[in-house]
Amino acid sequence: MARPIPRLAPVTTTERPPSPRSMPSPLGARLILRVPSDGVHLAYAARDTGTDGAGYPPLRERLVSVTLAFEESVVIITLSPEGGLHNRASIASLGDAAKYIAGRIDGPSALRAVVVVGDFGRGWADDALAELDGIPGVEALGAGVQALADMPQPVVAAIAGVCHGPGLEIALACDIRLAATTATFAAPETGLGTLPRAGGTQRLPRAIGRAQALRMLLTGDTIDAPEASRIGLVSSVLAPEEVEAAARALVRRIADRGPIATRMGKEAVQRGAEMTLEQALRYETDLTVLLQSTADRAEGVRAFAAKRPPRFSGR
């Protein structure tokens, strides 16, 4: 079970936050946060202020690249890399956001589903190649995107525009991808004499198959949304004005279902894909047995018998 995010005491503009002291419940019906891109943990930025969560003066001017909006049990991640170009800071920002959300799976403020919207990005900033030189920089990128892929909650991406390079890698870390007719996709890194830096060479073939992935990776060709749908990169293509609303509606439907079951369903698919069929079937059985002991499973059975909507508690 994930450890709750600790509550931190107030700080001044010259102090670092002290050690955790108690457990907070900082999320209201809707809370907007700006995510620190330099690795400062979100528990600091998200401490309860009694307002809209924006009262964190020491960090206000440093919180960039990602916005989180909480609507009941759903969280919306909005991406906004400067000029549509990613660097180490923007990816670290996304990783911090993902880790924060991943820790909110229990209690009255539990987050059950995630939607990613905004500008996925068209490439790397000019300073990114030098900034990411060497193993530490490349590993930092992988860790930031991996944090998104590792989130226990189902994640839906709504892609309305350019989704190239690091933007494509971010989209690949999401579980379900919806695209607008205006969206385009590309993995152009080999044209720069390099490779995707955040898992693209591994997640792309797992999403669309080896042949199609190699075509994209080795040519750098840009594909449009209908082609992305044809090869299985996205599951739906919608009008630009509809794609975000469709993604939000989808995550709300997911959030209404048994939260433990949806998390385990995601886990079964992700981990099972790396196993033999025999191993994966055993893993599915293990997860099913675990679900049998939950209060949510009992509630689901009662609700079905009573012909009423279930009231899942996440326990």
Burial class (CB in 10 A: 0-12, 13-18, 19+), 201: middle
Domain that holds residue 270: 259-306
Predicted pLDDT at 282 = 94
Together in a domain, 106 and 199: yes
How do residues 86-116 score in pLDDT, each as one tens digit? Answer: 888 888 889 888 988 998 888 777 899 999 9
Q: Per the domain annotation, does 163 fall within a domain?
A: yes
Together in a domain, 273 and 235: no
Together in a domain, 220 and 284: no
- Which of 142, 144, 152, 86 lies closest to 114, judged by CA? 152
Rounded Cα distance between 98 and 104, Å, is 10
Rounded Cα distance between 32 and 285, Å, is 40
Question: Are 12 and 58 within 8 A, CB to CB?
Answer: yes
Predicted pLDDT at 131 = 62
Rounded Cα distance between 81 and 218, Å, is 26
Together in a domain, 166 and 235: yes
Predicted pLDDT at 42 = 31
Q: Per the domain annotation, does 14 fall within a domain?
A: no
Q: Which of the residues are catalytic?
A: 169, 189
- Phi first, then psi, for residue 233 (nearest 5°) are -70, -35
Together in a domain, 176 and 219: yes
How many domains does the chain fold into? 2
Q: Per the domain annotation, does 250 fall within a domain?
A: yes
The ranges of the chain with pLDDT < 70 are 1-64, 127-134, 137
User: At 266, which CATH number?
Assistant: 1.10.12
Together in a domain, 196 and 269: no
Residue 200: C-alpha distances to residues 146, 165, 203, 259 (Å):
11, 8, 5, 29
User: At 136, which CATH number?
Assistant: 3.90.226.10
Predicted pLDDT at 128 = 64
